[in-house]
Amino acid sequence: MAQLYFRYGAMNASKSIQLLTVAHNYEQSGKKVMVFTPAIDDRYGVGIVASRVGIRREAIPVDEDTDLFHMVEAEAEKPDCVLVDEGQFLNKQHVTQLVNIVDKLQIPVIVYGLLKDFKNQLFPGSHYLLCEADKIEEIKTVCVYCNKKATHVLKFKNGVPVYTGETIEIGGNDTYSSVCRPHYYNPPVQS
């Protein structure tokens, strides 16, 4: 029975490399996967899933109007699995379409993404995924300042932590750090 999986973690928790590994494993077994990624995440180019360790692959870009269900349903050879990177950027309609891929087409869907933004609020896509996923799995990583589990994302502007501003600003380790709760509220002073 197909299921919708939401695998979330803080930045640098290995979400993208895990997606790439799952895709590779399916394809090595002669199975077909469809990989999607939101077009808004253009750090490595639109339609590219890339890990910080340097592995990347092309994916189908998703914008506000993309109908994921229709795209999968229209495939002559149905995929054995649908993989989605950066699930936090999905909208409610996208999540409903993923649910329909699972329930109507009986194709498993695995979505990887962040849970919360730097303001410590759920991303909309993550909110809907939490409501609809059959299985919710945390991918853990450690705080950049200590050995506690990273549960928050700290944003920096000119080396100073910020807690307000635009929710979506695509960036990497130069802009965001994964931290534990104590270091989110009391980060060490940058020198």
Q: Annotated catalytic sites, by residue?
A: 86
* Token reading at 144: 């950049």
Q: Are 5 and 109 a contacting pair, CB within 8 Å?
A: yes
| Separation in Å, CA 95 to CA 61, 88, 100, 172, 182 | 15, 10, 9, 25, 32
The single residue listed with the structure tokens 């909110």 is: 127
Alpha carbons 100 and 87: distance in angstroms, whole number: 16
What is the CB neighbour count within 10 angstroms for residue 31? Answer: 12
